[in-house]
Amino acid sequence: MATIVCFGDSNTWGYDPGSGERYPTESRWVGVLARTLEAKRPGSFTVIAEGQNGRTTVWDDPFEGSKNGSLYLAPCLESHKPVDLLVIMLGTNDLKHRFGLSAWDIAHGAARLVKMAQGSDFGPGGRPPRVLLIAPPPLGRLSNFAGMFQDAAEKAKGLASAYEEVAAELGCDLLDARSVVRSSDKDGIHFDPEGHVALGGAVAERILASLP
């Protein structure tokens, strides 16, 4: 049985932009992924959700505390080893105005996480896990998060091409989320239920095509 760890932020956690609460497990994209894989290949996959609200790639948040993804990634992978596939979808929180980062900076923060996984022994047989990097979609119409994400919408449009460059450099698989999901207009950042279904299905298709 192959173990898949999905490492992300509030969209992986399952934040509902309408209520601010958490979607039910089966409605989150990771839940959709698990259900789709089980339907296609019963008993072949274990899917683990590792989402945290506000998580960044490699940056310490001066206001929200322990959000730096690079500090949690190694213990996370070690606790679930052997990990066959690590799915990383981070970068949206790096767009916050407080960090002052470019799309290039954010993509290279994500690249640092990929390198950490590729240099580890947390996969089967002491090898590294495979990595699927997901480039977050552009932001939608910001509402209550507008001040926090001031000037972020334009930078977000450059994430896909920046992530494509680092994925090619590192030799990892890449999924451009903007091709399958858009951020909800309820807050401009999080996904509606339909977006979770679309993303979970797209990730499942990619995994089924790439893993034996």
pLDDT at 130 > cutoff 90: yes
3-class SS string, 147-175: CCCCCHHHHHCCHHHHHHHHHHHHCCEEE
CATH class of 2-210: alpha beta
Q: What are 81's strand-pairing partners?
A: none
pLDDT at 210 > cutoff 90: no
The reply to whether omega before 82 is within 30° of 0 (cis) is yes
22 and 16 in contact (C-beta within 8 Å)?
Answer: yes
Among 53, 12, 57, 32, CA closest to 145: 53
> Which pLDDT belongs to residue 211?
74
> What are 48-79's pLDDT values in tens digits?
999 999 999 999 999 999 999 999 999 999 99
> What are 68-120's pLDDT values in tens digits?
999 999 999 999 999 999 999 999 999 999 999 999 999 999 999 999 999 99
Q: Name every residue whose Cβ is closer than 8 Å to that of residue 181 and which is 6 or more positions away in sequence.
A: 137, 191, 195, 196, 198, 199, 202
End-to-end Cα spacing for the chain: 11
> What are 23-53's pLDDT values in tens digits?
999 999 999 999 999 999 999 999 999 999 9
